[in-house]
Structure 1
Amino acid sequence: MTRLALLRHGHTEWNRMGRIQGRTDIPLDQDARAELAGQRIPAPWDQATLWSSPLARAHDTAELIAGRKPRVHPALIEMDWGDWEGLHGKDLRTDADSGFRDIEYWGWHFSPPNGESPKTIRQRLLPWVSELQGDNIAVCHIGIMRVLLAHATGWSFDGPPPFRIKRNRLFVIEIRDGAWQLQAEPVRLEPRS
């Protein structure tokens, strides 16, 4: 059996402003750095293979909570939001000509103009997942987490998801004989003593 625990990176200035980050390499803000420095990965997950997206906000989150450098894999980079990157979601929602819709209503095939669809993201993630062995933690992005959790739960990006992604929690997927199962409760990071 392989286990893959997913953790969302800490806050950035753009997160707090409601801007769509995508692949723009925005660093963690100072509050996030301080919060993450006071947390750690609980046992036995602290012994898992540690992975991260190539973007600094994920890489730095991994290093802060684990006290070691992660392995970086390009498949874990955030989704490409295309022409919507850097814009505010609330502004796009009010512009009838933008074509914007919340990701919960994309289906597997919709994408922002010049961006990626969930299907495209899944196609780049599954080969990476198929090579994993043992316990793994991937510090990544909400777009990546949505795709992997959708794959594990059968959610089709059509209506509210059967999971709620929160920060500072490991969302654990068990993979056995090709079958994926999301553990019911995420594992919380622990205070660092």
Structure 2
Amino acid sequence: MSSFHFALLRHGVTAWNAERRIQGQSDIPLLPETVDEYRSLQLPQKWCAVPWRVSPLIRTIQTADALAIDGVSPDEHWIEMNWGDWEGKKLSDLRRDLGAQIQENEDRGWDFRPDGGESPRDVLSRVEVALASNRDGNFGVVTHKGIIRAVYAAACGWNMMGKSPDKLDWKAVHVFSWSSDDGLGIVDLNCPLLERDGTTT
């Protein structure tokens, strides 16, 4: 498929999110109250009829299920960035313990790499494999913050240093384009989920 649009939605809140712990590829489920909240919500109408995929991690699968997205297929290309030895830790603690070392790492932008983990550049490379092999036309993915940030950065030309050019709502749908000629582009950001009665949240 030479060109198409795809929608990305981050999973709902887990206990580790609430505790501000780095999750990475650790398989942490949604909080029960998050599941209840998402059961009252639905996708924007135009994205209800396309195929949806999920990361293999339970938090994306639970999010899709709570939103009543039918027939999702797990795809490992969309799994969260591997944070290696930093998973389960708090960024505030890492900043305290590592001092200037962590800032120097963050200042590498696309090549930032947690100890034993992936860089955003690694993440984008595997996502681009999935995009290049897509034969479904437009589709959606329930995925992770690290994935969405990498796709967004590539689409808008952000070097992943400092603040992003746009403020992303991590509970909203973000729509991107991909073509074999032009690569990634932004179509629409911060598309809100709807209440089950069709009103915006």
TM-score scaled by length of structure 2: 0.88
Cα distance, 1:66–1:101 mapped onto 2, change above 3 Å: farther
Match of 1:86 among 80, 85, 88: 88
CA distance in 2, matches of 1:43, 1:175: 21
Deviation at 1:96, TM superposition (A): 3.3
What's the counterpart of residue 188 of structure 1? 192
User: 1:33-53: per-residue Cα shift (whole Å, max 9, x none)?
Assistant: 011100001212100110110
Which structure 2 residue ranges, 5 or more long, are not aligned?
A: none
CA distance in 2, matches of 1:103, 1:7: 27
CA distance in 1, matches of 2:23, 2:103: 16
Deviation at 1:13, TM superposition (A): 0.4
Mapping of residues 77-116 of structure 1, within 5 Å:
77-96=79-98, 99-101=101-103, 105-116=107-118
What's the counterpart of residue 76 of structure 1? 78
Match of 1:66 among 52, 65, 68: 68
Cα distance, 1:114–1:74 mapped onto 2, change above 3 Å: same
Question: 3-state DSSP class of the match of 1:44?
Answer: helix
CA distance in 1, matches of 2:105, 2:156: 16
Question: 3-state DSSP class of the match of 1:174?
Answer: strand
User: Which shifted more, 166-175 or 117-126?
Assistant: 166-175
What's the counterpart of residue 59 of structure 2? 57
1:161 aligns with 2:164: yes
Percent same amino acid at aligned positions?
A: 34
Between the two proteins, the alignment pairs up a number of residues equal to 193
CA distance in 2, matches of 1:117, 1:90: 20
Deviation at 1:98, TM superposition (A): 8.1
1:136 aligns with 2:147: no
Question: 3-state DSSP class of the match of 1:3?
Answer: strand
Which structure 1 residue ranges, 5 or more long, are not aligned?
A: none
Mapping of residues 114-129 of structure 1, within 5 Å:
114-129=116-131
RMSD, aligned α-carbons: 1.9
Are the equivalent residues in 1 in contact too, given 2:168–2:189 (CA < 8 A)? Answer: no
Deviating above 6 A after TM superposition, structure 1's stretches of 4 or more consecutive aligned residues are none
Letter of the structure 1 residue corresponding to residue 51 of structure 2: T
